[in-house]
Amino acid sequence: MVYVAQGAEYIAETPEGNFYGNTLEEVRSQCPAKYHGYILHLKGWGEISAEGFAELAFNPKTRVLKKILPYDKEGETRFKALMSDNVDYRYNLLGLK
């Protein structure tokens, strides 16, 4: 079985602790009522502090794991089409042609 740690989209670092969520509303609802600081939008793991990374990726109480399932024949066909030199499939998929 293969799992990946799924990072949060937003983070608020407050004196009371860090609050994570996938929507602004989710993070705001966790923050203390007096908090008027910044809520950061994380675009990837590289934008989070080492402590935040450890909390989101390694702490069993706070991490979110997503199970990676093996893909079927249809998924394999799509993957090969996406990675091929033929760009028509990608253009059609994006609605550009």
pLDDT tens digits for range 46-67:
888 888 889 889 988 888 898 8
Cα 88 to Cα 97: distance, rounded to the nearest angstrom: 8
> Which pLDDT belongs to residue 39?
92
Whether the predicted pLDDT of 45 surpasses 80? yes
Tell me the pTM.
0.61
What is the predicted pLDDT for the residue at 68?
Answer: 82
CA angle 60, 13, 3 (to 5 degrees): 25
The architecture (CATH level 2) of 2-63 comes to 2-Layer Sandwich (3.30)
Indicate the length of the chain as a whole number. 97
Encode burial over 20-54: b for 16+ CB neighbours within 10 A, e otherwise. bbeeeeebeebbeeebeeebeebeeeeebeeebee
How much of the chain, in percent, has pLDDT values that exceed 90? Answer: 16
Sign (positive or negative) of CA dihedral 47, 50, 55, 57: positive
Domain with CATH 3.30.1490 in the chain: 2-63
